[in-house]
Amino acid sequence: MKFADQLRAIGACNEAVEWVADRTLEQAWRECERSDWMLWLLRASGIDASRCAGLFALRVWDLVPPEGKLACAWAIDCALRGADEDECRAAAAYAASAAYAASADSPHFAAASAASAASAAYAASAAYAVSAASPHFAAASAASAASAAERRAQCDIIRDEIPLLLVRAEIPLLLVRKRLAAIDAARGEK
């Protein structure tokens, strides 16, 4: 089965599937410049990419003024050390709240703070679910990942932190889990 077909089977977006086209997993992993696609694949495969997200957030650390650093630091720390779900939720909420409160005074602070917090929590599925519901998260994520250079840098971080061998091993398991879920759903409908 081609990699594009595997992506389609696990529910990847059409844009990613079209970009992959005839590329192998190895080629796509090496050439991809969309960190959001790479993180989606890792999350879908059950691979913890929290450390990558924490490293993304550190890239915008200099944009966060002193009064916002504590809130962002906690979210980044949670991502880097793989904190539990409850702590990730609390850290993401605290950082988002701090960014929101400061947004009237400094839109740059709000964007940087939310970007740091959201990036740090992005790959941790529980924190991602909480953060993704916030419009501040969406705006900050778009702002922090707007440049092609930043997206490439994030992809390089992912490639440095997550071995391709792990991704290659998890995709067939994900396909099997999807098929089993479809079988179970079909049985439940009868």
Looking at the structure, tell me whether residues 21 and 82 fall in a common domain: no
Greatest mean pLDDT among 52-61, 72-81, 92-101 lies in 72-81
Range of the domain at 67: 50-146
CB atoms within 10 A of CB 67: 14
How many other CB atoms are found less than 10 A from the CB of residue 189? 6
Q: Residue 109 pLDDT > 70, yes or no?
A: no
* pLDDT in the model for residue 81: 81
Q: What average pLDDT does range 79-93 have in this prediction?
A: 79
Does residue 139 sit in the same domain as residue 65? Answer: yes
Whether the CB-CB separation of 10 and 178 falls below 8 Å is answered with yes
Residue with tokens 């009237």: 104
Alpha carbons 128 and 56: distance in angstroms, whole number? 14
User: 83 and 139 share a domain?
Assistant: yes
Q: How far, in Å, CA of 165 to CA of 56, rounded?
A: 22
Three-state DSSP state, 162? coil
Look at residue 133 and tell me whether its pLDDT is greater than 80.
Answer: no
Could you tell me what percent of the chain has a pLDDT over 90?
Answer: 26
Q: Quote the CA–CA distance of 58 and 39 in Å, as a whole number.
A: 17
What tens digit of pLDDT does each residue of 31-41 get? 999 988 998 89
Does any domain span residue 45?
no
Task: Count how many domains the chain has.
Answer: 2
- Claim to verify: residue 82 and residue 129 sit in the same structural domain: yes
pLDDT at 128: 42
Question: Would the pTM of this model clear 0.75, i.e. be above it?
Answer: no
Q: What residues have CB less than 8 Å from 36, skipping those under 6 apart?
A: 145
Same domain, 105 and 181: no
Q: What is the residue-wise DSSP string for 165-183?
A: HHHHHHHHHHHHHHHHHHH
